[in-house]
């Protein structure tokens, strides 16, 4: 039996097959979780539907529009989720919207530009810093309800969002050269960390930012 057998997991933020969120989704599916997805806009709708169609029993997977900048879409999407599932165990990404008594684990994605200067990341680094702080505060607020909140700080990956960051290719090359494990990471490896955070194996872990970057975050000056 998989680590997430029977768990209901909503994965928000899938853009294409290179998305970290997709790596997490496939890892969850491997471990027995029931999945649901959203598409944020019409531009990404076909991408999401094509990916979902590759999963086993894809006809029964809840998937629909949800632009998280529009409250009416959020309300409609989660009402439909509640009708189909009745509960939500795992929420991936930074949209903390669900009845807290139904949730068990919430996780978001961040990046080490919070602690290190990364040219061209700029305002996104500040947003990620807020996200990491909010992870800690939400963990404190939701802990009494037995809800755990954590963040995963992944290394630079070739994703749809990452492609908009100037110099991301050089950052990946630098990781291979300088990270203690001397290689880059994959979406699947980030997915495995997410499985741990979503499973009972991490039930004592909350308010944490877990690095999945082959140790790159510890490096200061190198020879």
List Cβ neighbours of 109 (8 Å cut-off, separation of 6 or more). 13, 20, 21, 93, 94, 151, 152, 153, 154
CA–CA dist 194, 199 (Å, integer): 9
The residues with which 152 forms a beta bridge, in sequence order, are 109, 210
Element housing 55 (H / E):
none
pLDDT band at residue 223 using 50, 70 and 90 as cut-offs: low
- pLDDT of residue 96 exceeding 60, the answer is no
Share of the chain above pLDDT 70, in %: 83
**Mind listing the domains of the chain with CATH numbers?**
8-211 (3.40.50.720)
- pLDDT of residue 164 exceeding 60, the answer is no
* Secondary structure letter of residue 207 according to DSSP: S
Closest to 7 measured CA to CA, from 29, 26, 24, 22 = 29
- pLDDT of residue 117 exceeding 90, the answer is no
CA–CA dist 5, 29 (Å, integer): 9
Q: What is residue 94's predicted lDDT score, i.e. its pLDDT? A: 42
Tens digit of pLDDT for each residue in 19-29? 889 999 999 99
- More confident of the two residues 53 and 162: 53
Tens digit of pLDDT for each residue in 45-76? 999 999 999 999 999 999 999 988 889 999 99
Question: What does residue 111 show for φ and ψ, rounded to 5 degrees?
Answer: -150, 150
Tens digit of pLDDT for each residue in 124-154? 777 777 888 888 999 999 999 999 999 998 8
Q: What is residue 97's predicted lDDT score, i.e. its pLDDT? A: 39
- pLDDT of residue 192 exceeding 80, the answer is yes
Cα distances (Å, whole numbers) of residue 90 to 32, 108, 133, 138, 195: 13, 11, 20, 15, 10
Mean pLDDT of 172-178: 82
- More confident of the two residues 118 and 85: 85
Share of the chain above pLDDT 90, in %: 49
User: Does the model's pTM come out above 0.85?
Assistant: no
pLDDT band at residue 1 using 50, 70 and 90 as cut-offs: confident
Q: Which residues are catalytic?
A: 111, 121
């Amino acid at each position: 039996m998989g680590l997430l057998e029977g768990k209901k997991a909503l994965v928000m933020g899938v853009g294409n097959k290179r998305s970290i969120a997709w790596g997490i989704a496939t890892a969850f599916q491997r471990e027995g979780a029931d999945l649901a997805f959203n598409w944020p806009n019409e531009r990404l709708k076909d991408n999401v539907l094509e990916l979902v169609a590759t999963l086993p029993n894809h006809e029964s997977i809840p998937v629909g529009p949800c632009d998280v900048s529009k409250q009416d879409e959020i309300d409609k999407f989660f009402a439909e989720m509640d009708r189909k599932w009745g509960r939500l165990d795992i929420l991936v990404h930074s949209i903390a919207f669900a009845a807290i008594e139904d949730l068990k684990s919430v996780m978001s994605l961040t990046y080490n530009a919070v602690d290190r200067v990364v040219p061209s990341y700029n305002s996104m680094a500040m947003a990620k810093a807020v996200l990491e702080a909010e992870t800690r505060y939400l963990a404190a607020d939701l802990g009494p309800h037995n809800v755990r909140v954590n963040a995963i700080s992944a290394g630079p990956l070739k994703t749809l969002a990452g492609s908009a960051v100037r110099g991301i290719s050089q950052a990946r090359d630098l990781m291979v050269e300088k990270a203690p494990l001397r290689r880059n990471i994959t979406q699947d490896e980030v997915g495995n960390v997410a499985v741990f955070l979503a499973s009972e194996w991490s039930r004592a872990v909350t308010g944490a930012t877990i690095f999945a970057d082959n140790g790159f975050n510890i490096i200061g000056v190198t020879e």
